[in-house]
Structure 1
């Protein structure tokens, strides 16, 4: 769910949580640096706190980034339309 425009620093977590609550599921895109990105890690943690079905998805399967600890018990899949469809169908 795109924010469409930048949020003020002091309100982004509240607004982000509201967006996550409105989602049927969350696909966390994983790149080489995602495990270092505090904002992305917070969003994954928030999705899990809100009990949103969550899956990690490697952006580059042949050049994988480290799995963020926030997704330690979650499946990480390869970026394919079939895998996306399978996740969405299971929600």
Structure 2
């Protein structure tokens, strides 16, 4: 069974999260995604719930759009993923652009949008 993944993304890039989840369903595989959409990123209950949700996964997929690098919530989710010792990789969501990376996301762990590649990365989370 493939590992559970937490998806970190900027709200303006929600379309990419929805597309990724839909691709997983369309490909009829067993990948399960978890996300917790941020209403107020510095509300203490959000952080508590986010820690718990990251804790129930093997790692985090960071969807990288134009403003992701500046998102305090995304940076916090990356730091929490690292603090928990979980796997992490990023996906550039626009095929024709390379967006700046948020702090804490290693550049060698970033790929272009390609569902087969995403699946391949997930299979390394053992």
Q: If the length of structure 1 is used for normalisation, what is the TM-score?
A: 0.87
The runs of at least 4 aligned residues of structure 1 exceeding 4 Å deviation read 4-8
8 Å CA contact 1:54, 1:74 repeated in 2? no
Contact persistence 1:44–1:70 (CA under 8 A):
yes
Query: Is 2:58 the partner of 1:58?
Result: no
- Aligned residue number for residue 26 of structure 1: 60
**How big is the alpha-carbon RMSD for the aligned residues of Structure 1 and Structure 2?**
2.1
Larger deviation, residues 15-24 vs 70-79: 70-79
Alignment size in residue pairs: 91
Unpaired segments ≥5 residues, structure 1? none
- Runs of 5+ in structure 2 lacking a partner? 1-33
Superposed CA offset, 1:15-38 (max 9, x none) = 101100110121111111001110
Q: TM-score, normalised by structure 2?
A: 0.64
